Chain A
Amino acid sequence: MITLILKVALVFFALTIVISFYRVVKGPSMPDRIVALDTIGVNLLSMVAIVSIVFETKAYLEVILILGILSFIGTIAFSKFLERGVIIEHKSDR
């Protein structure tokens, strides 16, 4: 029973990723695509959590944290590129 519920949740998360992917492809502006990619990252992280429950293993728990960290840093890098033009400044003027 619980496995069935988890698999239904996996299907819904996959559906969310498909909808977000539509926004990545279609999105009129660049920030739309960045937010959509961030949403895909969070949903992927949730899918890994559910898969680790289905497989009854603790080996994937590090993957969840690493995926969250990488998604965070990637979103910040994209946002800084959009806002400032450079990702890593040589000497900040502040």
Chain B
Amino acid sequence: MKLNNVILKTTTQVVFFMIFLFSIHIFFAGHFSPGGGFVGGLLTASALVLLLLTYDLKTVQQLLPINYTTMTAIGLLLSLGTAATSAFLGDAFFKHYFDHFTLPLFGDTELHTAMLFDLGVYLVVVGVTMIIIQSIGGDE
């Protein structure tokens, strides 16, 4: 049975980038407003799930050749490394550092090493969600 779902494909090509940009926004806004690594990761995973729904597993893997197991490992290493760096510098485990910087486009910005920990959480959440969905959904 051949189905022509051109409306769904066109909608997905627009909506995917909206969801992805919104997840990036929620990831970066997590320090001062609701959001953070977990919700941002789940939203990115849901954008990828929308791609999986519209196209099929092989096409999405050709489109985004990401090994999600490696992604989870990198996220765990990043979180552990951020937590362990302060121990090597002589402070307590999990001590975070922050300072104010003047960036060219953003002006006065507060950069925080908790964001690196959150990036690890983000990568782990995206990786684990996509591993679960791909291994359950991708039947032969």
Contact = CB atoms under 8 A, between A and B. Distances in A.
19 contacts: A59-B33, A65-B22, A66-B39, A69-B43, A73-B49, A73-B53, A76-B53, A77-B49, A86-B137, A88-B52, A88-B56, A88-B57, A88-B134, A90-B56, A90-B57, A90-B138, A90-B139, A91-B58, A93-B2
Given A59-B34, A62-B26, A72-B15, A89 B56 contact: yes
Q: How large is the interface on B (under 10, 10 to 19, 20 to 34, 35 or more residues)?
A: 20 to 34
Nearest to A91: B58
A92 B15 CA distance: 21
A93 to B, nearest CB: 7
Nearest to A83: B3
Interface string A58-94: 1100110110011011001100100110111111111
B53 A92 contact: no
Interface of B: 2-4, 8, 15, 19, 22, 26, 33-35, 39, 43, 46, 49-50, 52-53, 55-59, 133-134, 137-140
Given A88-B133, A89-B56, A89-B57, A69 B138 contact: no
Contacts of A92: 55-56, 58-59
Nearest to B18: A69
A91 B56 contact: yes
Given A58-B33, A62-B34, A83-B3, 8 more contacts: A59-B33, A62-B26, A73-B49, A76-B50, A88-B52, A88-B57, A90-B138, A91-B57
Nearest to A76: B53
B46 A70 contact: yes
Contacts of B58: 90-92
Nearest to B46: A73
A83 B53 CA distance: 12
Contacts of A86: 137, 139
A41 B46 CA distance: 17
Contacts of A70: 46
